[in-house]
Amino acid sequence: MAADIIDGKAFALDLRGRIATLAADFTARTGRKAGLAVVLVGEDAASQVYVRSKGKATVEAGMASFEHRLPVDATQAELLALVEALNADPAVDGILVQLPLPTHLDEQTVIATISPDKDVDGFHVINAGRLAVGQPGYVPCTPLGCLMLLKDRLGSLSGLNAVVIGRSNIVGKPMAQLLLAESCTVTIAHSRTRDLAEVVRRADIVVAAVGRPEMVKGSWIKPGATVIDVGINRVAGTEPGKTRLVGDVDFAEASAIAGAITPVPGGVGPMTIAVLLRNALVAAFRNAGLDLADDAI
């Protein structure tokens, strides 16, 4: 029997609808819109697409979008000065500096300069620490989106065996922390894990975030497991000169074994921007000293 397809696009659309409702409530209560500032340095084509889509989604949710563009040769001091100005701007509730930055700029210094209370990407070391010890903070958007999809599919995750393939600060590590907080038994696997296939085969939940096209094979999957594929890899298509998107999981093989699986595209991807909007709105409520129920969004 084929796996159920976890429709991230539909879930994200519903989430964005709830965000828009709460954003309107925020505006009614404060007299201003929740504000998200996005900073783009340089002319990277993919980054420009991401920034445009984030700005469009922000406006559609009834929030204020502030876009700041710096030339590719902007200095570290110029970028840090802009971040500090946004930290001090009461109209800005969330700040996102689009990565990657040009190579002459120090990403970690820039991230560290963002106020932790406006760090809606969840990359600041203080927010990483808050996540690790279970305090309220901001969690990177992709793993939080994955957790939302898992809980929507499975309900309680307590006691389940989860394997996270990948140990990045953006996905792998925060994903493991989120699953641990849900009382999963968590294994972080990576390039040096011995007998990776056997480790994955024990998992009730598999989150693949390793950046290698179709690395996780169907034979690695425990029958009935839930598979979340974070990978977005462009590979050669069936026609000459054409490309296609695939995940880190061999979808055709895994979907014949798993109980449920996210597709690529249309799975985790749409959740990332939706959760960014969610984080920005949560920041707005917190910065304004307003209560927001934990399960509201």
Catalytic residue list: 54, 98, 121
d(CA 99, CA 114): 14
Closest CA to 154 of 233, 235, 224: 224
Q: Decide if 64 contacts 122 (C-beta within 8 A).
A: no
Please give the structure tokens belonging to residue 178. Answer: 């989120």
